[in-house]
Amino acid sequence: MRIAIGLEYDGTAYNGWQRQRTGLGVQARVEEALETVANHPVEVVCAGRTDTGVHASGQVAHFDTDSKREPRSWLLGANSNLPDDINLTWVAGVSDEFHARYSATARSYRYLILNRVQRSALFRQRAWWVYAGLDADRMHRAAQALVGEHDFSAFRAAGCQAQRAMRNISTISVTRDADWVTIDVTANAFLMHMVRNITGTLVAIGSGDEPETWAGEVLQSKDRTRAGVAAPPHGLTLTDVVYPGAFKLPPNPNADLR
């Protein structure tokens, strides 16, 4: 039997999603909690491996089991064995054709920037504090050069193991609400550090250090050394993963909190 789960977590204390030989990954904690309910070893496969310090409000994963439990039992049993910074948000039985990674058709990330002179104690692990003034409208216009299917080599990390750098960004927006600047990106898939590198580039444009055309120029260069600095990981959250309707997955209960 294959079970799909929705997950939220604060990535501050973890070395990313993946189980680690040294350090702690979110995956290990989730598997340990599910094993207490299943009474057998469990391997969890996620939709997208988040990096060290990156958060999730809409992660999706699956695992296989021979144990027969109601979704409510999986949910409550796992959550009672998880630390406070990791939580299952839903559980659903799915067909064996479902795969959390390969069945996904789109993924969405949000990057949060606090743009004011004073830093924040409350959001120090959830947003990038940028004290220099940012023009969000200018950033948004610049970002539209990245929409569509492109070679995103200029925005991938040196350690990225993806065989191809072609990705398709369907939407990207930059908005401001008082002191908060939010970057929302949806694509079919992402390269390692891709959103963080895009964010660093857009911040350089928003501050006036680079022209609006720079994002497109960096993209066309396919050269990582041409892009801006990588934004810190703690401002990034995986907010949603989209699947074909035929799988009938529950809606993301955090959709309004993104």
Residues 97 and 110 in one domain: no
Residues 146 and 36 in one domain: no
Domain that holds residue 202: 106-238
Q: Which of 43, 39, 38 is nearest to 25 (CA)?
A: 43
Predicted pLDDT at 159: 85
Predicted pLDDT at 160: 86
Euclidean distance between CA atoms 200 and 227, whole angstroms:
8
Predicted pLDDT at 8: 98
Kindly state the average pLDDT of the residues 200-224.
97
Residues 64 and 78 in one domain: yes
Q: Count of domains in the chain? A: 2
134-171, pLDDT tens digit by residue?
999 999 999 999 999 999 999 999 888 888 999 999 99
Predicted pLDDT at 90: 98
Predicted pLDDT at 23: 81
Whether 245 maps to a domain, the answer reads: no
Whether 247 maps to a domain, the answer reads: no
25-63, pLDDT tens digit by residue?
999 999 999 999 999 999 999 999 999 999 999 999 999
Residues 113 and 143 in one domain: yes
Whether 198 maps to a domain, the answer reads: yes
Whether 154 maps to a domain, the answer reads: yes
Q: Report the predicted TM-score, pTM, of the whole model to 2 decimal places.
A: 0.96
Kindly state the average pLDDT of the residues 13-32.
92
Average pLDDT, the chain: 96
Of 62, 87, 103, the one marking the end of a domain is: 103
- CB-based contact 182:109 (threshold 8 Å): no
Predicted pLDDT at 255: 82
In the residue annotation, 177 being an active-site residue is answered as no
Q: What is the CATH number of the domain that holds 42?
A: 3.30.70.580
Predicted pLDDT at 212: 97
Whether 191 maps to a domain, the answer reads: yes
Residue tagged active-site, from 51, 135, 184, 240:
51
Q: Evaluate if residue 126 carries a pLDDT over 70.
A: yes
Predicted pLDDT at 256: 76
Residues 114 and 233 in one domain: yes
pLDDT bucket at 22, cuts 50 / 70 / 90: confident
Residues 87 and 139 in one domain: no
Residues 47 and 122 in one domain: no
Kindly state the average pLDDT of the residues 122-137.
97
81-125, pLDDT tens digit by residue?
999 999 999 999 999 999 999 999 999 999 999 999 999 999 999
231-245, pLDDT tens digit by residue?
999 999 999 999 999
Q: What is the CATH number of the domain that holds 193?
A: 3.30.70.660
Residues 213 and 123 in one domain: yes
**CB < 8 Å & 24+ apart, contacts of 14-17:** 14/52, 14/53, 15/52, 16/49, 16/50, 16/51, 16/52, 16/54, 17/46, 17/48, 17/49, 17/50, 17/59
Q: Evaluate if residue 229 carries a pLDDT over 60.
A: yes
Residues 95 and 141 in one domain: no
Q: Which of 12, 2, 16, 8 is nearest to 82 (CA)?
A: 8
Whether 251 maps to a domain, the answer reads: no
Residues 76 and 34 in one domain: yes
